[in-house]
Amino acid sequence: MTTYHIAPSILSADFARLGEEVRNVVSAGADIIHFDVMDNHYVPNLTIGPLVCAAIRPHVQVPIDVHLMVKPVDRIIPDFAKAGANIISFHPEASEHIDRTLQLIRDHGCKAGLVFNPGTSLQFLEHVMDKIDLILIMSVNPGFGGQSFIPEALKKIAAARRLIDDSGRDILLEVDGGIKIDNIAAAARAGADTFVAGSAIFGKPDYKGVIDAMRAELAS
């Protein structure tokens, strides 16, 4: 049976109360904290960096999943590893040397992931499947929370699931963007096992209510 992971994106949390927010969402049942890093260069928005990652680290025991939307990638990786990140993923277009960046992440003791924008082909995976711990399929164009799910992503999730099954390796398949109670089951049926949700969770007062409803959809 598939183990599903709910990964709230703190992009939609109240940044003035971030420690409390991450504690509350983990108490509400979150399995992973998704941490969106944007640089106003690779994507047209600017968010948070290693200092904030280190600040929330003592507040939660669950893995911190750092989604780097930055270019260049490599020089920031050691700082996130030191700040307590468990998973670090990046966009292949943002790295000059994908294999080297994956190795750098692993050398720093973190799990490594590759992220695919709606318009990016999965072909970047072909020669690096043995160095990947997570594949992240974007179901919106990166840069902002609160966008609508792009249905075409379901086909890409299914294609990534086939690649993972063929590899025989234990690789998480995460989907990010526009995930809500009413579409999480479709993403799971396509093959995803890890679900990022920002506005769907932090946009409601009852985090547990949303996470429980998502789990009920996944069990249906």
| Residues of the shown chain interacting with ligand DX5 in the complex, contacts defined by CB under 6 A | 9, 11-12, 34, 36, 67, 140, 142-143, 145-147, 176-179, 196-200
* Burial state string for 116-139 with b = 16 or more CB within 10 A and e = fewer than 16: bbeebebebbeebbebbbbbbbbb
Q: How far is the CB of 168 from Zn ion (least distance, A)?
A: 27
Which residues, including other chains, have CB under 8 Å from residue 53's CB and lie 6 or more apart?
35, 64, 66, 80, 83, 84, 85
Q: Which residues make beta-bridge pairs with 64?
A: 33
Among 22, 32, 36, 91, binds Zn ion (CB under 5 A): 36
Q: Does 176 bind Zn ion (CB under 5 A)?
A: yes
Q: Which is nearer to ligand DX5, 52 or 103 (CB)?
A: 52
Q: List residues with catalytic annotation.
A: 36, 176
Q: Give the DSSP letter string of 96-128.
A: S-HHHHHHHHHHTT-EEEEEE-TT--GGGGTTT
Q: Which residue is nearest to ligand DX5 (CB)?
A: 198
Q: Which is nearer to Zn ion, 10 or 218 (CB)?
A: 10
Q: Where are the beta strands (DSSP E) in the chain?
A: 5-8, 33-38, 64-69, 87-90, 111-116, 134-138, 172-176, 194-197
What, of ligand DX5, Zn ion, none, does residue 174 touch, CB below 5 to 8 Å by kind? none
Compute CA distances 92 → 14, 95, 130, 180, 202, whole Å. Answer: 30, 5, 16, 27, 29
Q: Which is nearer to Zn ion, 148 or 167 (CB)?
A: 148
Site pattern 105..144 for Zn ion (x: CB under 5 A): ----------------------------------------
* # binding residues, Zn ion (CB under 5 A): 3
Q: How far is the CB of 68 from Zn ion (least distance, A)?
A: 9
9 is in an annotated binding site: yes
113 is in an annotated binding site: no
What, of ligand DX5, Zn ion, none, does residue 5 touch, CB below 5 to 8 Å by kind? none
CB atoms under 10 Å from CB of 144, counted, come to 16
What, of ligand DX5, Zn ion, none, does residue 63 touch, CB below 5 to 8 Å by kind? none
Binding site for Zn ion (CB under 5 A): 36, 67, 176
